[in-house]
């Protein structure tokens, strides 16, 4: 995967598979400290210590269709190659927090890519989950909590054409305006 936003999508899919009801995705760019922080927090079934240790190993996966899981190990390797790290905090029955940090300006640092596309895909494809998306660049913050939207819409699905154009518009325009304020 060539974009960090695809990795976020991948990790969030793990959260969904773990039965999470609430998932929060955070992206934090700090241009002064030159760090890029990403996290996915869920209240899924969690993992024990043994599993957490194993999950960064490419030869561990819970899936039954194919035996090798590569999402997390590859992201960890990518972070470590950019003066960064990846940590997993998890507790059985409580949930999991996956955090990863990069040196923002590192030449090998993957681009964030299509963040709006990742958020839209998760939101519309998994309406049963309560999503919170937080993206900040220094002091500029974009936050989307889908609860208000869902309350307002009631029985109208997120895949309704009008709703889709609304969601796409707020995601794309907010993220674009965040990213154009960046100082290089």
Partner 1 sequence: MPTIKSLDDLKKIREEALEKRKVKTASGQVQVIVGMGTCGIAAGARDAMKAILETIQTENLEGVVVTQTGCIGLCEKEPIVQVVVGDQPKVTYGKVSPDVARQIMKEHVKNGNVVKDFVIQI
Tell me: does residue 16 bind partner 1 (CB under 8 A).
yes
Tell me: does residue 156 bind partner 1 (CB under 8 A).
yes
Using the minimum distance from each CB to partner 1, give the nearer residue, 115 or 137.
115
- CB atoms closer than 10 angstroms to residue 84: 21
SS3 (DSSP) at 4: helix
Using the minimum distance from each CB to partner 1, give the nearer residue, 102 or 119.
119
Decide the pairing of beta strands 22-30 and 130-137: parallel
Using the minimum distance from each CB to partner 1, give the nearer residue, 12 or 36.
12
Strands of 85-91's sheet in order across:
85-91, 95-103, 35-42, 22-30, 130-137, 140-145
Decide the pairing of beta strands 130-137 and 140-145: antiparallel
Residues 114, 172: Cα–Cα separation, whole Å: 9
- Among 23-31, 40-48, 49-57, 62-70, which window interacts with partner 1 (CB under 8 A)? 62-70
Decide if 162 contacts 168 (C-beta within 8 A).
no
Tell me: does residue 10 bind partner 1 (CB under 8 A).
yes
CB 158 → partner 1: shortest distance, Å?
Answer: 8
Using CB under 8 A, pick the residue from 34, 80, 143, 169 that binds partner 1. Answer: 169
Structure token pair of residue 4: 């960090």
Tell me: does residue 19 bind partner 1 (CB under 8 A).
no
Decide if 5 contacts 72 (C-beta within 8 A).
no
Residue partners of 154: CB distance under 8 A and separation at least 6: none
Using the minimum distance from each CB to partner 1, give the nearer residue, 107 or 162.
162
CB 70 → partner 1: shortest distance, Å?
Answer: 6
SS3 (DSSP) at 171: helix
Tell me: does residue 162 bind partner 1 (CB under 8 A).
yes
Tell me: does residue 58 bind partner 1 (CB under 8 A).
no
Residues near partner 1, by CB under 8 A: 1, 6, 9-10, 13, 16-17, 63, 65-66, 69-71, 114, 117-118, 120-121, 124-126, 148-149, 152-154, 156-157, 159-166, 168-170, 173
């Amino acid at each position: 995967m060539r974009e960090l936003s695809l990795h976020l999508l991948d990790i969030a899919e793990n959260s969904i598979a773990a039965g999470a009801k609430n998932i929060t995705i955070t992206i934090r760019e700090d241009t002064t400290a030159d760090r890029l922080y990403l996290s996915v927090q869920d209240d899924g079934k969690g993992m024990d210590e043994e599993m957490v240790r194993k999950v960064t190993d490419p030869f561990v996966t819970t899936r039954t269709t194919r035996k090798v899981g590569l999402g997390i190990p590859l992201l960890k390797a990518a972070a470590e190659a950019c003066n960064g790290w990846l940590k997993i905090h998890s507790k059985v029955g409580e949930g999991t927090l996956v955090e990863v940090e990069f040196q923002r300006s590192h030449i090998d640092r993957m681009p964030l890519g299509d963040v709006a596309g990742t958020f839209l895909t998760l939101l519309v494809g998994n309406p049963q989950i309560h999503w919170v998306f937080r993206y900040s660049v220094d002091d500029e913050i974009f936050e989307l909590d889908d609860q208000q939207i869902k309350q307002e819409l009631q029985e109208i699905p997120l895949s309704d054409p009008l709703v889709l154009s609304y969601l796409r518009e707020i995601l794309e325009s907010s993220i674009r305006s965040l990213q154009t304020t960046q100082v290089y």
